[in-house]
Homo-oligomer: A and B are copies of this chain.
Amino acid sequence: MVTMRDVATAAGVSPMTVSNVLTGRRATSPEVRRAVLEASERLGYRLNVAARSLRRGRTGVVGLAVPSLDAPYFGQLAGRLAARLAREGLRLVVEQTGASPEGEAAAVRDSRGGAYDGLVLSAVGLGGDVRALAGDLPVVALGERQDLRRVDHVGMANIEGARAAAALLLERGCRRLAVVGSPPWEQLDEPGGHDGDAFRLRARGVRDAVRAAPGARVRAVTLGTALEDGVRCGRALAAGEPVDGVVALTDTLALGVLRGLADGGLRVPDDVLVVGFDDVREAATSVPSLSSVAPGHDAMVEEVVRLLLRRMAKPAAAEEDVVAPFAVVERESTRRA
């Protein structure tokens, strides 16, 4: 392996000068600079990032821990965040937690080893005192565990957004709704275990809207959260007691539901209206295109970066909890003929 010392020897200067030339942190004479760059090029020198970050105590890398990499929502989040952080001179690396509290805790703990200057944690299961786990590592949480304490947090308007989504269906005349992805109805207000997760909050929003609509009913159908689970829910809905509107708590589920309803012979929007949540890119181009709650992706990414940079600069700053503005985007899946 070629080290700075090798380059220094080849260029006839000290290692420190090589460092100065390559980082540009100190002035160097043009001749020396040229000699160093030439030697570095010729030897194929590569800076050792482990050595640098050991010495500097920083890496210039931000981690993003997501439940799974193959869900469109997280992929799109990662893409946006990577692009935004690049503008700050930071690299993003993404890793997968497997959607388990243990995986998420491990991601936080491991990140304290100094591999990242900061961590964006898209938590679905982890609760409790994340700050204690994170130590002095700057962490910004996404997702909706109410008991994510003492960390900066960027949230969505889950309740309000879902309420608006359900209200849209009700406005379009639906009276027999189904919620796909909701926890069992009777658990919505229980504290404990999963209190505060996005699914529960969104389900509450739907319930609120239904309660406010005279004559409307709603039932929960839940078989998981993956695309294929949505398909199964859609089939179950087509086969069971008739419904005229479906609120799917994520777009991934909603896209599955579209498929499942088609399997069961129901047409959207002719027989049933469907609305999703998250406004993933695919929602705009599915057949039929999917109405969805857009949680303000760009604003969220902006806030995540702002909070992260602020905490990296001021470790002791007070925690912030911000919620991005949402919008309901109406598309074919809720448009009455």
Hey, which bits of chain A sit against chain B, CB under 8 A? 1, 44, 46-51, 53-54, 59, 63, 68-72, 74-76, 78-80, 82-83, 91-96, 109-110, 112-115, 135-136, 227-228, 230-231, 255-256, 258-259, 262, 281-282, 284-289
A92, B96: Cβ atoms closer than 8 Å: yes
On chain B, the residues within 8 Å of A135 by CB distance are 44, 46
On chain B, the residues within 8 Å of A288 by CB distance are 287
Q: Given known contacts A259-B289, A286-B286, what 13 new A-B pairs fall within 8 Å (CB)?
A: A49-B110, A49-B115, A50-B50, A50-B53, A50-B54, A69-B76, A70-B80, A70-B281, A78-B94, A93-B93, A94-B94, A258-B287, A259-B287
On chain B, the residues within 8 Å of A230 by CB distance are 285
On chain B, the residues within 8 Å of A259 by CB distance are 285-287, 289
Expressed in whole angstroms, the Cα–Cα distance for A71 and B46 within the complex equals: 31
On chain B, the residues within 8 Å of A136 by CB distance are 1
The quantity of this chain's copies bound in the complex is 2
User: Known contacts A54-B51, A70-B78, A114-B48; is A231 also within 8 Å of B95 by CB?
Assistant: no
Expressed in whole angstroms, the Cα–Cα distance for A79 and B63 within the complex equals: 16
A54, B48: Cβ atoms closer than 8 Å: yes
Measured CB to CB, the nearest residue on chain B to A226 is: B281
On chain B, the residues within 8 Å of A94 by CB distance are 69, 78, 93-95
Expressed in whole angstroms, the Cα–Cα distance for A69 and B80 within the complex equals: 9
On chain B, the residues within 8 Å of A70 by CB distance are 72, 75-76, 78-80, 281
A285, B51: Cβ atoms closer than 8 Å: no
On chain B, the residues within 8 Å of A49 by CB distance are 50, 110, 113-115
Measured CB to CB, the nearest residue on chain B to A136 is: B1
Measured CB to CB, the nearest residue on chain B to A58 is: B50
Measured CB to CB, the nearest residue on chain B to A262 is: B287
Measured CB to CB, the nearest residue on chain B to A261 is: B287
A287, B285: Cβ atoms closer than 8 Å: no
Expressed in whole angstroms, the Cα–Cα distance for A71 and B255 within the complex equals: 16
B255, A113: Cβ atoms closer than 8 Å: no
Pick from B79, B80, B109, B285: contact of A46, CB below 8 A.
B109
On chain B, the residues within 8 Å of A113 by CB distance are 46-50
Expressed in whole angstroms, the Cα–Cα distance for A113 and B53 within the complex equals: 11
B92, A92: Cβ atoms closer than 8 Å: no
A72, B69: Cβ atoms closer than 8 Å: no
On chain B, the residues within 8 Å of A48 by CB distance are 54, 113-114
Measured CB to CB, the nearest residue on chain B to A96 is: B82
Expressed in whole angstroms, the Cα–Cα distance for A2 and B59 within the complex equals: 18
On chain B, the residues within 8 Å of A1 by CB distance are 136
On chain B, the residues within 8 Å of A92 by CB distance are 95-96
**Can you sample 15 A-B contacts with CB below 8 Å?**
A44-B135, A49-B50, A49-B114, A50-B50, A50-B115, A51-B54, A54-B54, A70-B80, A70-B281, A74-B75, A93-B93, A231-B285, A259-B286, A259-B289, A282-B282
Expressed in whole angstroms, the Cα–Cα distance for A115 and B48 within the complex equals: 8
Measured CB to CB, the nearest residue on chain B to A79 is: B70
B82, A71: Cβ atoms closer than 8 Å: no
